């Protein structure tokens, strides 16, 4: 490889560049207006929202507000209260804070201003059950959705219609105040109504859509859910709600920019980047097999460029769990499936840009000839069947642990083919 970096160093540098490109400190200042006169509150939630709150107060000074972030992801703020909650299954701390957030924006009046900081993970963190539903109901719903293999867009349709916060309801609660939303996208297509289940934007989906998704995936949900979906309260605010007439939404960071930043690092080291898309979905293990086939074709035919190439992609895969499961996330499962089919000498990385893959303490994993040699005595197929990818890569030295990165533009994958 011209450029003189070993595969592991290059792949890690590409991941670092992808994360840095989504830093709210770079993204927010260009769209943040001067601080409005009158009462201003800052609310929101997600994996990037602590850093977003910091950046806002760097420019506006201390602010009144409440933002919900994952456990262990708090940062120092001047006035905005940060509350830690659980992800991906909500907990009591997040649910209590979500109710306080709704009360806070409901206290706003004509001429007041709500700035909403939304990022991926907000769906679980801002858990405000709909009328008559409980936190236990929400937890059962999230657990069923996460195990179903449903894409994030389908999961969030169901979540919206069972919430007092999602699907535009946070914005509706702030009416008649003006609402501005700054959001960091972690979803394929960058649709603001899907990011964190769209708490501040109108929802085009319906209760009937939620029913169809529940039936499609055979979700076993509490009876109280069916009861709630039969009420008028289950329908979400649509675009004709008066709050949306003056609402603004700005996507300040998105997956494609991070992929382009990683591509520049590859180019600087003599590697041709091939962007495979920022919105790849489907089963993690199936995408791993498919990408291994593409890598094998590139290695065998020397196509489509001379010299080494890097296949770069983003998006959000899923893992369908049937029965007991080990430890891991969609990125390590993707990489394990890839590694089982990859040609010799190919290296790869798969990480979540938020630093947390699934419920593990790893961002993801890396596959290099050295990791392959260390894992040669392990039965990869059995680890894949039991969804225990974390414990496959751990002994082989392949896990990547960054801790929370305070941003989130979803998964980053790069495959280096010599």
CB under 8 A, 24+ apart: contacts of 67-71: 67/42, 67/43, 67/117, 68/44, 68/94, 68/97, 68/98, 68/101, 68/122, 68/125, 68/126, 69/45, 69/125, 70/121, 70/125, 70/356, 70/404
Q: pLDDT value at position 391?
A: 97
Per DSSP, what are the bridge partners of residue 67? 44, 82
Q: pLDDT value at position 303?
A: 58
Give the CA distances from residue 254 to residues 12, 109, 115, 221, in Å, rounded to whole numbers and listed in that order: 20, 32, 19, 33
Q: pLDDT value at position 301?
A: 78
Q: For 345-400, write each residue's pLDDT tens digit.
A: 899 999 999 999 988 999 999 999 999 999 999 999 999 999 999 999 999 999 99
* Segments of the chain with pLDDT less than 50: 1-4
Give the CA distances from residue 347 to residues 112, 183, 299, 378, in Å, rounded to whole numbers and listed in that order: 53, 33, 12, 18
For the domain made up of 24-253, the CATH class stated in words is alpha beta
- Fold annotation for 7-19+256-417: glycerate kinase, domain 1 (3.40.1480)
Please check whether residue 310 is in contact with residue 414, taking contact to mean a CB–CB distance below 8 angstroms.
Answer: yes
Q: For 221-278, write each residue's pLDDT tens digit.
A: 889 999 999 999 999 999 999 999 999 999 999 999 999 999 999 999 999 999 999 9
Please check whether residue 317 is in contact with residue 282, taking contact to mean a CB–CB distance below 8 angstroms.
Answer: yes
The residue extents of the domains of the chain are 7-19+256-417, 24-253
Which pTM was predicted? 0.91
Which 8-state DSSP code applies to residue 242? G
* C-alpha–C-alpha distance, residues 181 and 200, integer Å: 7
Q: pLDDT value at position 73?
A: 94
């Amino acid at each position: 490889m011209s450029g003189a970096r070993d595969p592991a160093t290059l792949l890690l540098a590409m991941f670092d560049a992808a994360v840095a490109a989504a830093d709210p400190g770079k993204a927010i200042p260009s769209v943040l207006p001067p601080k409005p006169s009158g009462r201003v509150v800052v609310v929101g939630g997600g994996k990037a929202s602590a850093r977003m709150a910091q950046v806002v107060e760097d420019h506006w000074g201390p602010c009144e507000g409440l933002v919900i972030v994952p456990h262990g992801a708090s940062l120092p703020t001047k006035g905005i209260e940060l509350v830690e909650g659980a992800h991906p299954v909500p907990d009591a701390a997040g649910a209590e804070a979500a109710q306080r957030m709704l009360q806070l924006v409901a206290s706003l009046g004509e001429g007041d201003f709500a700035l909403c900081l939304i990022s991926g993970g907000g769906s679980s963190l801002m858990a405000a059950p709909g009328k008559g539903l409980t936190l236990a109901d929400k937890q059962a719903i999230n657990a069923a959705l996460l195990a179903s293999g449903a894409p994030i867009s389908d999961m969030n349709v169901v979540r919206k219609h069972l919430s007092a916060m999602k699907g535009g309801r946070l914005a509706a609660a702030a009416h008649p105040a003006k609402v501005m939303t700054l959001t960091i996208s972690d979803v394929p297509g960058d649709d603001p109504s899907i990011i964190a289940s769209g708490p501040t934007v109108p929802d085009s989906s319906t209760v009937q859509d939620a029913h169809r998704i529940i039936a499609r995936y055979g979700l076993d949900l509490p009876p109280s859910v069916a009861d709630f979906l039969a009420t008028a309260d289950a329908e979400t605010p649509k675009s004709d709600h008066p709050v949306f007439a003056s609402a603004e939404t700005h996507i300040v960071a998105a997956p494609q920019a991070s992929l382009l930043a990683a591509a520049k690092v590859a180019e600087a080291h003599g590697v041709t980047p091939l962007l495979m898309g920022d919105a790849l979905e489907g089963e993690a293990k199936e995408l791993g097999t498919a990408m291994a086939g593409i890598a094998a074709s590139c290695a065998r035919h020397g196509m489509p460029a001379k010299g080494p190439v890097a296949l770069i992609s983003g998006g959000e895969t899923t893992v369908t769990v049937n029965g007991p499961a080990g430890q891991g996330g969609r990125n390590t499962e993707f990489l394990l499936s890839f590694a089982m089919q990859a040609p010799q000498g190919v290296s790869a990385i798969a990480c979540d840009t938020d630093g947390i893959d699934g419920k593990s303490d790893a961002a993801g994993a890396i596959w290099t000839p050295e990791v392959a040699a260390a894992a040669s005595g392990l039965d990869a197929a059995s680890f894949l069947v039991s969804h225990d990818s974390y414990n496959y890569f751990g002994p082989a030295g392949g896990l990547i642990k960054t801790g929370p990165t305070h941003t989130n533009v979803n998964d980053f994958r790069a495959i280096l083919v010599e």
